[in-house]
């Protein structure tokens, strides 16, 4: 019985195999078109994503997209609908995030701290001291509204002319761009198009002449983005010039590029009724974290844009009720920037250097302590022109000549170990003896 059964099974296997092969072949013929139409094509599923391109120049419209990788003439292969139906597009998996490329540039050379006397040139004014051997560098400036009259369109005429004048002398160059003080059409340095983009994210105050000013909130992201784009463009144009040694940056400056915050608690008559600068700042959302973040965005933008230069930041204080520790914002930004970019990339300074500043060491609770503790990378700018005024001596000359006041100012500054000092052009012209004295001491 078992033998018969086994023989029957052996005889039926060829028939069953033939039947199965035939059935599979028929099924293949009837389903070929649908089956192949649903196979995803590599050319369809491959999507080449061009890297973002930053063109830091005056012509931002000249950016062209990079060419596609070799062998991929088009990101999508077109299939004729006459041959087969249009394939049903399958959902693609969410792309994995790419690793962020380190934005920190590698400087051609480690920037060296410049030293000496810098002649401070007013906006649009003639450079003084080009032929004076006691003048080591020239500070030049432009205003944002003039530099970038419309977004992405730059007028380099002022800075280019200054650089062209300085180049034959071989003197060092410091570049400063005035950014604040409110809308250009109302007397400020901020382009009107920037103010329009910022919208209602502003705050108002009275300046020293009791003129009402309205500026962007320091931490407003739209404002910061516009400012960072400008910083990148200026750096792209001039960072390769070996004479350019210093670029300034600011983030807590309501009027000039010097540190100046809205922290007064005096009721000033600006709406809402009974408000002060400090109360309006708090109502607008002021926090320590926002100010430090704004500062770091500007410092990162500046250090990236100027890989071969040092960045100069004029510091100051923010008083209560905004900050319990008045030096905390400046100190935190200083420490974070130096930690990220190098101890000597950020030079800390004050722009109220005078003959009445205290000799070191300053009182640990004073406004001068942070400058002193930021050594060795520190610098400064005189409070005012000394010639024809007693302001550099506390508004009272006390029998001192202008030359003596400027020499005394240099002595105070040098006692802190300052590397360079910006001295107003009028003093460079009218007080040559004091300039010679400063040249022999500063940075040595």
Model pLDDT for residues 138-184, shown as the tens digit of each residue:
999 999 999 999 999 999 999 999 999 999 999 999 999 999 999 99
pLDDT at 109: 58
pLDDT at 55: 27
Check whether residue 66 and residue 134 sit in a common domain: no
Look at residues 64, 86, 108 and tell me which one is the last residue of a structural domain: 86
- Examine residue 110 and state whether it is found in any structural domain, yes or no: no
Which residues lie closer than 8 Å to 172 by C-beta, 6 or more apart?
A: 114, 116, 118, 136, 137, 138, 243, 244, 245, 246
- Examine residue 257 and state whether it is found in any structural domain, yes or no: yes
**Burial track 294-328 (b if 16+ CB lie within 10 A, e otherwise):** bbbbbbbbbbbbbbbbbbbbbbbbbeeebbeebbb
Is pLDDT above 60 for 25?
A: no
Check whether residue 161 and residue 272 sit in a common domain: yes
- Examine residue 381 and state whether it is found in any structural domain, yes or no: yes
pLDDT at 68: 33
Is pLDDT above 50 for 5?
A: no
Q: Where residue 384 sits, what CATH number does that domain have?
A: 3.20.20.80
Check whether residue 68 and residue 125 sit in a common domain: no
Check whether residue 298 and residue 423 sit in a common domain: yes
Number of domains in the chain: 2
Question: How far apart (Å, rounded) are the C-alpha atoms in residues 335 and 321?
Answer: 23
Look at residues 66, 86, 106 and tell me which one is the last residue of a structural domain: 86
- Examine residue 389 and state whether it is found in any structural domain, yes or no: yes
36: containing domain: 14-86
More confident residue, 63 or 234: 234
Check whether residue 339 and residue 294 sit in a common domain: yes
What percent of the chain is modeled with pLDDT above 70?
75
Is pLDDT above 50 for 264?
A: yes
Check whether residue 81 and residue 134 sit in a common domain: no
Check whether residue 198 and residue 82 sit in a common domain: no
Check whether residue 218 and residue 288 sit in a common domain: yes
**Element spanning 177, H or E:** strand 172-178
Arithmetic mean of pLDDT, 261-274: 97
- Examine residue 417 and state whether it is found in any structural domain, yes or no: yes
- Examine residue 313 and state whether it is found in any structural domain, yes or no: yes
pLDDT at 443: 83
Helices 432-441, 402-415: crossing angle, 10 deg rounding: 10
Contact 63, 114 (CB under 8 A): no
- Examine residue 95 and state whether it is found in any structural domain, yes or no: no
Look at residues 67, 86, 105 and tell me which one is the last residue of a structural domain: 86
Check whether residue 259 and residue 298 sit in a common domain: yes
Check whether residue 327 and residue 223 sit in a common domain: yes
- Examine residue 142 and state whether it is found in any structural domain, yes or no: yes
**Model confidence pLDDT, tens digit, residues 89-113:** 434 333 333 333 334 544 445 689 9
- For the ranges 50-64, 229-243, 244-258, which has the lowest average pLDDT? 50-64
Check whether residue 343 and residue 267 sit in a common domain: yes
Check whether residue 408 and residue 337 sit in a common domain: yes
């Amino acid at each position: 019985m078992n033998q018969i059964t086994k023989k029957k099974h052996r005889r039926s296997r060829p028939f069953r195999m033939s039947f199965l092969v035939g059935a599979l072949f028929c099924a293949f013929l009837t389903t070929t078109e649908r089956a192949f139409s649903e196979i995803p094509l590599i050319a369809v599923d491959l999507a080449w994503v061009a890297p973002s391109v930053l063109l830091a120049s005056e012509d931002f419209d000249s950016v062209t997209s990079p060419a596609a990788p070799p062998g991929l003439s088009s990101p999508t292969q077109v299939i004729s609908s006459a041959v087969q139906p249009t394939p049903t597009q399958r959902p693609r998996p969410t792309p994995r995030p790419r690793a962020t490329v380190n934005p920190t540039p590698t400087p051609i050379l480690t920037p060296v701290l410049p030293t000496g006397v810098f002649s401070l040139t007013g906006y649009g004014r003639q450079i003084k001291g080009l032929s004076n051997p006691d003048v080591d560098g020239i500070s030049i400036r432009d205003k944002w509204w003039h530099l970038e009259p419309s977004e992405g369109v730059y007028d380099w005429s002022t800075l280019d002319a200054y650089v062209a004048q300085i180049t034959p002398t071989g003197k060092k160059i410091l570049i400063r761009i005035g950014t604040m003080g409110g809308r250009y059409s109302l007397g400020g340095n901020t382009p009107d198009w920037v103010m329009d983009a910022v919208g209602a994210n502003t705050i108002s105050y009275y300046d020293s002449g009791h003129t009402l000013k309205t500026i962007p909130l320091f931490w407003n992201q739209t404002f910061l983005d516009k400012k960072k784009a400008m910083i990148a463009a200026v750096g792209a144009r001039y960072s390769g010039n070996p004479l350019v040694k210093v670029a300034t940056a600011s983030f807590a400056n309501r009027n000039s590029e010097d540190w100046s915050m809205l922290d007064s608690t005096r009721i000033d008559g600006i709406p809402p009724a009974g408000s002060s600068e400090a109360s309006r700042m708090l109502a607008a959302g002021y926090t320590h974290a926002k100010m430090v973040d704004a500062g770091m965005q500007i410092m990162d933008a500046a250090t990236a844009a100027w890989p071969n230069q040092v960045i100069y930041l004029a510091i100051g204080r923010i008083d209560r009720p905004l900050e319990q520790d008045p030096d905390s914002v400046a100190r935190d930004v200083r420490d974070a920037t130096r930690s990220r970019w190098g101890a000597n990339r950020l030079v800390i300074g004050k722009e109220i250097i005078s003959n009445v500043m205290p000799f070191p060491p300053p009182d640990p609770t004073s406004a001068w302590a942070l400058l002193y503790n930021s050594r060795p990378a520190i610098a400064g700018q005189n409070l005012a022109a000394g010639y024809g005024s007693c302001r550099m001596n506390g508004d009272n000359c006390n029998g001192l000549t202008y030359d003596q006041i400027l020499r005394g100012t240099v002595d105070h500054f040098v006692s802190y170990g300052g590397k360079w000092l910006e001295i107003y052009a009028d003093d460079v012209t009218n007080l040559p003896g004091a300039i010679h004295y400063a040249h022999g001491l500063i940075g040595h």
